[in-house]
Amino acid sequence: MILALQETHLDQNLLHEVCACFGRRLEVVISQHPDNPQATTGVAFVINKALIKPSDYKMYELMPGCAATLKVKWLKNEEMLLVHSDVHGPVKVPTHQGYHYWCWISNLS
């Protein structure tokens, strides 16, 4: 139904190529690294269009390229939502980006 991917390294050009191959059956939504999407991080959701209509979900970027949430309408009831989260944590914690990421994660409630 929904596949969450990490370390995708996708930018809009690569996403277009993926959609050209699989777009008839699959919807791919991405959160890319803001500065250099092909070189680092990136998270994505792959959605089976036969099971979930494009109007039934919305992606929210929590931290571009590192964390995103997909909110899905469930059982034809707009008030009942299924939420999927996809988080990629930097391995090198001493880096500037890694430090701020882990501080951000530790402050979530």
| Segments making up each domain of the chain, as ranges | 2-106
Question: Are 40 and 8 in contact, with CB atoms under 8 Å apart?
Answer: no
Q: What is the pLDDT of residue 78?
A: 61
The model's pTM: 0.75
Q: What is the pLDDT along the chain (109 residues), one digit of tens a residue?
A: 888 888 888 889 999 999 999 999 999 999 988 888 787 788 899 999 888 887 788 888 888 888 888 888 766 666 555 566 667 665 555 555 566 666 766 676 5
| DSSP three-state, residue 25 | coil
